Chain A
Amino acid sequence: MTSAVVDVQDLSTHIVSRWGTVKAVDGVSFAVAAGETLGLVGESGSGKSMTCLSLVRLVPRPVARIVAGRVRLDGEDLLAKSEAEMRWIRGRKVAMILQDPMSSLNPVFSIGMQVREPVAMYHRLRGRALGARAAELLGAVRIPSPAARLRNFPHQLSGGMRQRVVGAMAIAAPPRLLIADEPTTSLDLTIQAQYLGLLKELQERHRLAMIFVTHDLGVVARVCDRVAVMYGGRIVEIGPVRRIFTAPAHPYTRALLEAIPRLGARREQLTAIEGQPPDLAALPAGCAFAPRCGQALERCRREAPPETAVGAGHATRCWLHGP
């Protein structure tokens, strides 16, 4: 593996509210190399999105604060940067695609004006060169007749098309790291497959490091090289995608895989994970998954398990594999 584009060490983001401190991200570490895709998987509220926002230092202030850790992008610590430096890095070095294409474009401006804005900002282009580059970007995300589309307004485009436009704006720089926060969740299945193909294509062309947030393990299998499974603000298991699917180490990962409905499986009903996602404001002392875990030991309820290696590049936080 080549040196990492982004290297996150012990990142912790807390949300302070009237009901107590929520450890939304709690000691998260991972690294992503150029051209590699890391899948970030977990239930709603497991801290996936908060982790991504922490990387670009856009956690909702003043309630949320990054309290500890290091985020190195090409060796530079982003958490030590000034706000002005951070603004320069956002978009140029790290780009992000959000979930909802219906609201991620400004309804009052044409596609052209919106695509030209970041291009003009990053490359100081003007006039004809700017227009040509904008059309080129739309072409790169496989939008037919880009020159004509530049004159359209967002409401004239379908969800899939809009998400492509968002993708075009994201690669305007092009960045080093692309964070895709459930970019295909609200798209049709066929459109979803096309979009994933497009993302892979863009990634290969620009050698992007990519973090792909999703709760859909099917999507993970298609696009990711490695997977990090999050639960209760922590990464409970991280490893190569093949290992995660064939030899999951953490009971939660296993439960997630069993919850995927399979065609032809002789099951009367779908397997669901018993119990509720944990209340992050009142996490148990030990492993956060222990109350829902079928194999929980006495120790699981008392002590949080440390990260343990269970294979090449494969680690988990579970006492079953305890040191």
Chain B
Amino acid sequence: MSLQAVDPAALALPEARAEGPATLRGRRLPWIPVGIVAVFALVAVLAPLLSPADPYEQSLRNRFRPPVWEARGSWAHPLGTDRLGRDMLTRIMYGARVSLAVGLLAVFLAGAVGAAVGLAAGYYGGRVDAALMRVTDATLSFPVILLALILAVTVGPSFLNVVIAISVILWARYARVIRGEVLSLMERDFIAQARIAGAGAWRIITRHLAPNTLNTILVLVTLQVGYVIIVEAALSFLGAGIPPPTPAWGSMIAEGRDFVTSAWWVSFLPGLAILLVVLAFNLLGDWLRDTLDPKLRQL
């Protein structure tokens, strides 16, 4: 038996993923969800430029035109028209603005508040922790839809109220998860070392604790965008969300539900848009979680 030349590269062990900032290197981006999110984001931002028509322009003569691939469809309205003859494609494009804006705003607002509460509770512990966590538990036991309905009935439905109603409930998830993270970080020596070096509460929270929870916040934010979009759609469907005539996917489904048997596209297409966006965000969130922090499985 002869000794064979061995390619040294073949012997090299895969680089160990040591403790430290997780990198996105070496993990392929999930192109399909990233693509879907990117397309919807682009459409939302550029809706006025890309859309073929005016989302509010009615044309009663062109009511219930089917999509272009149906027998009576035409390129004038690629996805057909609704019961007031408004162009469906245009309205779905404008609907993306509402859904994504509500989703991102609510998630960032809730994320900021929840992270602050979680950091404070985890850092100070004791009574501060007990008080903040009781409020968090109480909040988590309150249904989002119910609160939003109450808000819509009392102060009237509006874009801002939807964002507020969702954020008021949503922050609690962040608070709880971040607090857990902070509690385990507090046991680590670098926090003790920072204290010994003379760092005060503010410095320790902002420089040492918060940066170490960013991965978790990022994962949670991505996973929750989809959830917020669904809640907003549900609210709009119930008439407690974005008030008409602003095109929102939820209210578009509601408007079309009486005509499902004759004009299926009026309800179906906005529903499909919701499905695609939410699915994309969830897949992206799952991927981020697995890449950044596999410990977060339960989220």
Contacts and interface: CB of A to CB of B under 8 A. Distances in A.
Interface stretch (A87-95, A126-134, A195-203): A87-95
Interface residues of B, number: 22
B212 A58 contact: no
A221 to B, nearest CB: 27
B21 interface: yes
Given A96-B196, A104-B189, A117 B207 contact: yes
A91 B197 contact: yes
Contacts of A153: 20-21
Contact of B197 (A102, A107, A154, A169): A169
A106 interface: yes
Nearest to B16: A155
B19 A155 contact: yes
Nearest to A89: B198
Contacts of B199: 87, 121
B245 interface: no
A98 B21 contact: no
B108 to A, nearest CB: 21
Contact of A104 (B126, B190, B198): B190
A99 B189 contact: yes
B20 A58 contact: no
Contacts of A154: 19-20
Contact of A87 (B188, B190, B200, B207): B200
Interface string A161-191: 0000010011000000000000000000000
B131 to A, nearest CB: 15
A105 B199 CA distance: 14
B192 interface: yes
Nearest to B194: A106
Contact of A108 (B194, B197, B200, B212): B212
A90 B197 contact: yes
B195 A90 contact: yes
A149 B248 CA distance: 53
- With a 10 A CB-CB cut-off, give which of A56, A106, A109 has the most chain B CB atoms: A106
A233 B108 CA distance: 50
Contact of B212 (A56, A88, A95, A107): A107
The binding surface of chain A is classed by DSSP as mixed
B26 interface: no
Interface string B211-244: 1101000000000000000000000000000000
B192 A98 contact: yes
Interface centre among B190, B193, B207, B212 (most CB of A within 10 A): B193
A158 to B, nearest CB: 11
Contact of B20 (A95, A107, A118): A107
Given A62-B126, A108-B21, A117-B207, A103 B188 contact: yes
A89 B189 CA distance: 20
A90 B188 contact: no
A170 B189 CA distance: 14
B200 A95 contact: no
Contacts of B200: 87
B197 A118 contact: yes
B135 interface: no
Interface string B103-137: 00000000000000000000000100000000000
Interface in A103-126: 103-109, 117-118, 121
A107 B21 contact: yes
Question: Which of A96, A104, A121, A153 has most B Cβ within 10 Å?
Answer: A104
Contacts of A103: 188-190
A169 B207 CA distance: 16
Interface string B9-47: 000000000111100000000000000000000000000
A58 B195 contact: yes
A94 B193 CA distance: 12
A58 B197 contact: no
B208 interface: yes
Nearest to A100: B189
Contacts of B195: 58, 90
B189 A155 contact: no
A106 B198 contact: no
B198 A91 contact: yes
B150 to A, nearest CB: 40
Contacts of B214: 108
Interface in A249-263: none
B189 A92 contact: no
B199 to A, nearest CB: 8
B23 to A, nearest CB: 10
Interface in B163-203: 188-190, 192-200
Contacts of A88: 198
Contacts of A89: 198
A166 B194 CA distance: 11
Which 6 pairs between the two chains have the least Cβ-Cβ distance? A155-B20, A91-B198, A91-B197, A104-B189, A90-B198, A155-B18
Interface of A: 56, 58, 62, 87-92, 94-96, 98-100, 102-109, 117-118, 121, 153-156, 166, 169-170
10 contacts: A58-B192, A96-B196, A98-B189, A102-B19, A107-B21, A108-B212, A121-B197, A154-B19, A155-B20, A169-B197
Given A104-B193, A153-B21, A155-B18, 14 more contacts: A91-B196, A91-B197, A91-B198, A92-B198, A94-B196, A98-B192, A98-B193, A100-B189, A102-B19, A103-B188, A106-B190, A117-B207, A153-B20, A155-B19
